[in-house]
Every structure is written in C-alpha cells, then in structure tokens.
A and B are shown apart, each in its own frame.
Chain A
C-alpha cells in the first residue's frame, strides 16, 4: 500500500536532549496557574463528580429501587457500567505491562497516561458492585474473616472470584503506577524552585536519589511486577466473563465468554487511550514525545482488537445456531429484530464496521477521524455490554417471565457522575504528575544518541 510514500515517524523527536526534555515535561506540571482549557474541562467534570456523590447518597438513603432494575432484568446499569469501566481500565495495563515486557519503545511516552487512565477507570468500576449489593454497608461480608455467624464466603462462585480479582487489580494498579512514578517525583522535587511543590514532590518521592542500589532494585522489581500485571489483567476480564458464563441465563452460558471479554476490554481500553492521547498531545504540546508513530501504532492495535471482537461476535451467532437450544434462538432473534435491535446493530457498526477504516494508512494518520472512531468504539463497547446484560435477561427461558428494562434518571445520573469522576481524576493527574515518564524517556534518548 502507501508505506513507501510516508516514512515511519520516530518515537521521539531526535532533536531532544535529556535536560531539555526533563524541563519541558516538568514545566507542564510546575506552572503556577493551570491552563484555561484545564479549568474549562475541570468545571463540568467536577460538577458531574458531584452528581455521582449525590446519586450515591440518595441510593444509600432510598435503596436500589431508585434504579430501573426489576424482575427479570435484575442486572442493569450497575453491571453494564462496571464491565465497561473495568474494560477501559485494561487498556492502560496492557500498554504499561505487556508492552514493557516485549520491549517496544513507543510504549514509554504513553505509559503514564495509560496507567493513570487505568487507575480512575478501575476506581469507577470498583464502586459499582458495592453499590449493587443492595445493602452496601455489609460489603465486608465478602471478606473471609472469622465472624460470629461462623459463615464463609462462597469460594466456588465466580462472583466471589470477581470480588477478589477486582480488589487485587485495583490495589496492584495503584502500587504499580506509584512505583513507576517514584523516579519522576524525585525529578519534580529537584526541578521545582518553590517551597510547596518541593515539599509535595519530596514526600511523594520518598527520598529516591537515583543511587546505584535504588536503580538496581527498581529495575528488577518493576520488570517482575510488569510480568505479574500482564497475566493479571487477562485473568480479571476472564473472571468478569465467568460472572456471566457460569449462569444458566440465555445468551450468557457460553465457554467463549472469558476470551470474548478480554477482547472487548482491550478494544475499549485502546479506544480510550487514543481518545485521551489525541487531544492531550496537542493541548500540552507533546508532539515531540507522542509522535505520529504512537498514534499509528494505537490505531493498528484498535483495528486488531476490533478483529478479535468480530470473531467473538461471529462465534456468538454461530454457537446459537449450532446448538439446538430453542430459548437461545428466540433470544437471538429478539436481539437482532426485537425491542433492543438498535443496540445490537449499533454495536456492530461502532465496534466492527467503522474500525475497518483503519486498514488504510492515510486514514490512520487522520487524527480527527481516528478520534471519532475511538469515541465510537467506547460507545460501542458500552452498547455491547447493554446487549449482554439487558437483552439476555429480558428474555429468560420461561416466556411468562419476559419483561423489559428502562433506565431511571438515577441510573443515568450515577453513570454520568462516574464519567465526570474519571475525567476529573485524570485532569488532577495531568496537573500534578508528569504525564510522560521522564526517566524512561531519558533511556530512549540515550539509545537514540548512541
């Protein structure tokens, strides 16, 4: 195709030097006043985060009757949004851990942004199952602690595995993110000239001074943690898939669910990284570090994960007709032609059809188009989960139990609130933490100059 016409762009502007690069990335954070665009984005995000708090308080007061869920659709927005957010979170871990292990250079300048995205997406995901408990103040019953009821959690249930998986994933993501940021906090401590940032970053850096011993331990520990995080993120999504697959519900009881959920998670994760990286590199003027190369690689990854999802959708349809279960066929016809048919066809359009445009290199390099496709994928993955949760549950095996689902205003309010919380959290990170891993960029520059 057109590979010869457009040369491959470098992972970093060759004119950069370690000192200048450090100063430029640090200067973004050390500005005394935030950018105007930062406030323009922060005000609506923080307002929505406030809506989240109100929705949660009202939920605690009134109970989950304020949501649209009822028989037979007992899993509504809480589970859709939980699966959606945890899927988005995965993209960050894939970039920071998996691509660290395969030693690709382009990972370096995206890794901090992707991991920060993981933190807040995982936090948004983590609150939903607790809110969905109905009596959230008893959430600690999920822990296997010695209790006066002499009861244990059900260790054989995927729902319980899921609790453990999310707990492990959220805690590990925070520790992995922080460990990877310690050398940069040290840089910030030494670069800042005012007292308050010096104190702030000094405490966060914990006294890291780049000594030989510190670097030896750092490199060894970081590599091993990356090797743990990469299979962990796959296991988390497989277990989310098992939450569904272990149930007898039509449309769920399928052995392909664990990999299917991993594919979908990766698709939405890469979609969100592109959605954030494209505007941020312009707003923060990071074009020298997040180059066209990065955008192209991400676009290719989006395309690959879209193909994986297409395969899963095809297997989904195939196994419905290959198996001779009448309830599955009724459900599938309902999905394709029924009340929620729009959800199914929009999912296919956004997740399968539109990403095919990325086969063409010219279109991959068109940033506006790539941003639109990745936004579409994020919406499409939400619709996919809507289809899995709501459409399956509204056609149970017994026709007398059929029913529909309509989300309530509080479903939407909490959903919008978590979106606001996610963006508000990311904006705080962009303001306070170097959004590109400075010390890893130094190593890339050294290799370039050698």
Chain B
C-alpha cells in the first residue's frame, strides 16, 4: 500500500485540497494538523461515554452506601434512619465525577487507538511539521490508479511538500 502525504500552509488551503481529493479520489483521506480544524465539529462518542460512566459511578456508589448502611451493617445511632440518603450524596457525586474523568481519559485513548508509538507515516521527514505549523493530508491506497490520481490532484494545488510513504 502506498501513501501520499502533502503539506499545506493554512487550514483554508488544506480544506480546498480536501474538497478536491474527495471529488476525484476513492481512497481513505486523513488530516494531520497542529490544532483542531475549525470546520471540523468536535463530534465524538466520548461525551456519551463520559455521561454513562459518571452516572454509573454515582449511582453505583449510592447503591453501595445504601447497601452497607441498611443491609450489610445496619447500625442504630439514636434512632436515626438507616437509609440516610442525603449523607450518601457527596461521596456519590465525587465517585461519579472520578468515574467520568477516568472514562474520558481512557476513552480518549481507546477511541484513538493510542498508544500508537510507530506509524509508517513518521518516516516522512516533512511530517514533523504536522505538530508545528503545517496542515497535512494523507491518502492511503492500494490502487496505483487512485494513487496517481491523488498525486495529480495534490500537485495541482502546489503544496509545501509532497511525499510518498509505505503505508
């Protein structure tokens, strides 16, 4: 499989390259940019995952507290009710928040298949600028025809650099 990696100086030029590629080439296209793309809305499954983990953490902790104080170890303190739910709330909140943050962090790693320490794209010398000031687009395809077409499209847009890598 071959990959093509082209760098553009700004998000606008990258967006026009993306539009041209999507029209002309049938191959997976990925961007690599130093900052989030403005035109790219932060659509992700993670907020839902975080919400579910937070609710699970909070209600799970609440249930644990209720079980401990009513069923497992009921303890009579001056006839106060065993099911003293207001006292369960702070810990349920904290544990819910902890579960949510942990789900957000580890969910981020899983959703992005990280850690992913080596990738063939790293062999391209120009790619280091992807975390500095250049906006990259990578096209990967097995079809030599598509690769040739992608190269033609990208060359026409006069990128800062255009490299081939073994994807």
Contacts and interface: CB of A to CB of B under 8 A. Distances in A.
B137 to A, nearest CB: 10
Interface stretch (B101-109, B140-148, B151-159): B101-109
Contacts of B30: 211-213
Contacts of A218: 36, 108
Given A207-B117, A217-B111, A156 B69 contact: yes
A407 B119 CA distance: 58
B131 A186 contact: yes
B114 A207 contact: yes
Contacts of B165: none
B88 interface: yes
Nearest to A193: B128
A190 B132 contact: yes
Given A155-B88, A215-B36, A232 B117 contact: no
A144 B34 CA distance: 45
A176 B101 contact: yes
Interface string A52-76: 0000000000000000000000000
A178 interface: yes
Interface string B60-99: 0000110011001100000000001001101101110110
Interface stretch (A166-174, A265-273, A420-428): A166-174
A75 to B, nearest CB: 20
A320 B37 CA distance: 57
A291 interface: no
Nearest to B93: A235
A151 B108 contact: no
Contact of B42 (A18, A169, A216, A242): A216
Nearest to A176: B101
Nearest to A232: B97
Contact of A178 (B105, B128, B133): B105
A152 B84 CA distance: 15
B117 A152 contact: no
A396 B134 CA distance: 67
Interface in A193-242: 202-203, 206-221, 223-225, 228-229, 231-232, 235-236, 239, 242
Nearest to B105: A175
Interface residues of B, number: 59
Nearest to A443: B35
B40 A217 contact: no
A191 interface: yes
A179 interface: yes
Contacts of A225: 50, 100-101, 104-105
A229 B167 CA distance: 40
A206 B40 CA distance: 23
Contact of B91 (A164, A202, A229, A232): A164
B70 to A, nearest CB: 11
B25 interface: no
Contact of A18 (B34, B68, B69, B91): B34
B104 to A, nearest CB: 5
Interface in B5-42: 11, 30-38, 40-42
A172 B101 contact: yes
Contact of B43 (A151, A155, A183, A216): A216
Candidate in A171, A220, A439 with the most chain B CB atoms within 10 angstroms? A220
Given A152-B72, A221-B44, A443-B36, A208 B88 contact: no
Nearest to B64: A144
A235 B90 contact: yes
Contacts of A228: 50, 54, 97, 100-101, 104
Contacts of A207: 114-119
A209 B119 contact: yes
Interface of A: 17-19, 22-23, 144, 150-152, 155-156, 158, 160-161, 164-165, 167-169, 171-172, 175-176, 178-179, 183, 186-187, 189-191, 202-203, 206-221, 223-225, 228-229, 231-232, 235-236, 239, 242, 439, 442-443, 446
16 contacts: A18-B34, A144-B68, A156-B69, A171-B102, A178-B105, A183-B131, A187-B34, A207-B118, A211-B30, A213-B30, A213-B112, A223-B42, A224-B47, A224-B104, A439-B131, A443-B35
